[in-house]
Amino acid sequence: MSDEIFSMLRDSAEDFLSAQVHNDSQTGRIGTPVLRDRKLWAAIAELGWLGVALPESHSGMGMSVDAAAVLCEVFGRKLFAEPYIAGALMPSAVLAESTEPVAFELAEGLVCGNRYLTLAWQEQAGEADSATYATRWDGATITGRKRFVSALEDDGIVLVAAESNEGTVIVALAVEAAGVRYQRLATAQGHYADIQLDGAVPMAPPLLVGAVADAAIMRAVAWARVAASAQLSGIARGCLLATTDYVSQRTQFNRTLSAFQSVSHRCADMLVGVELSDAVWRFAAAEVSVAKQPESLACVYAAKARSGDVALTTGRTAVQLHGAMGFTEECAIGLYLRAAMQYSSWLGAPAAMRRLFLARSGQRDLLMEACND
């Protein structure tokens, strides 16, 4: 993918988000699960962003995850709250692999912004890389429990991974269907839904069956990790910029705060973190977009670990450097920290990611071997 296309995407995202995103819309809703802002969702559909990672055969732009990640970096910087990764990128990785008629129909709805999709694969906390499911598909109905599902709309469609006699299947299920119950927990910019499925009947036969279904989930998760890394890196950079602005203007003891080394040196450390994070997600995005098995790449885990750590550290330091104002809801700096909490915990927290990084970077995992003996 050429740098020129990337800069066009980045510029258009910056222009659009600068005009459309207002941080005040995020105040006053701490602890409240948030759904899509349908006007904004339709607007980004209009811009073509929802179909970036879908092939042209599926109504998409035929680009790859590296293009989506470029957008996500800007989303992070601008605190754009729409669930792009969960609601567009991850479903794209699944739909792109399916040639069932319903897959083309859903892809078109996803790209147009009038079908609200999400992917439900996870069943336990911290099991980011398990490919087995307790949720069962019996050939006609689906039963089980899915957790930590983002971007679930009441009138949406959830792509559910389940076990069957032929291995893993992925089925498309209307959230309104009988046998579907759910509860949402609030995150910074959205929610985690806990979904109970009790003999629910999907819209159509499975989209994918067997090894190709497993591969699609693995790819969706790897894509999402890289995109989330980009978004976290953007969150950290936006937070750093807001903080350097603030400490350059605020005066105490007759000096700008930035004249104190205790302040400026912390800004320098934040900068180093942000640049490390930026270097690793960009590398991972380029690697993942050409890899057949992106889940085997160590750099994906390194990117998710680094960007999560850096966004959290930057967010906390920024709150501190804003002083008492930083602790108020009306000061936007806390939004960065809360967004960092969401995206660093989702899809694998830093410590877990580093263990997988080590395992994937060609070093024998002696701990795992010892545990298995």
The footprint of other proteins (CB under 8 A) covers 244, 247-248, 256, 258-259, 261, 264-265, 267-269, 271-272, 275-277, 279-280, 282-283, 298-299, 302, 305-306, 351, 354-355, 357-358, 361, 363, 366-367, 369-370
Least CB distance to other proteins at residue 316 (A) = 18
The least CB distance from residue 3 to other proteins, in Å, is: 12
Closer to other proteins by Cβ: residue 16 or 336:
336
Report, in Å, the least distance between residue 246 CB and other proteins. 11
- Nearest to other proteins of 98, 231 (CB atom): 231
Question: Nearer Cβ to other proteins, position 43 or 298?
Answer: 298
Closest distance between other proteins and the C-beta of residue 224, in Å? 20
Shorter beta-carbon distance to other proteins: residue 130 or 361 = 361
What long-range pairs does 344-348 form, CB within 8 A, spacing at least 24?
344/232, 344/307, 344/308, 344/309, 344/311, 344/312, 345/308, 346/148, 346/150, 346/187, 346/192, 346/228, 347/128, 347/221, 347/224, 347/225, 347/228, 347/304, 348/128, 348/129, 348/225, 348/301, 348/304
Name 196's bridge partners: 145, 181
| Cα 17 to chain centroid, rounded | 18
CB of 272 to other proteins, least distance (A): 5
Closer residue to other proteins (CB): 132 or 248: 248
User: How near is the Cβ of 365 to other proteins at its closest, in Å?
Assistant: 9
CB nearer to other proteins: pick between 158 and 263 = 263
**What type of residue sits at position 31?**
G
The residue among 99 and 361 lying less far from other proteins, judged by its C-beta, is 361
* Shortest separation between residue 329's beta carbon and other proteins, angstroms: 27
**Closer Cβ to other proteins, 145 or 360, answer by number:** 360
Q: How far is the CB of 8 from other proteins (least distance, A)?
A: 21
Query: Judged by CB, which is closer to other proteins: 278, or 295?
Result: 278
Least distance in angstroms from the C-beta of 67 to other proteins: 20
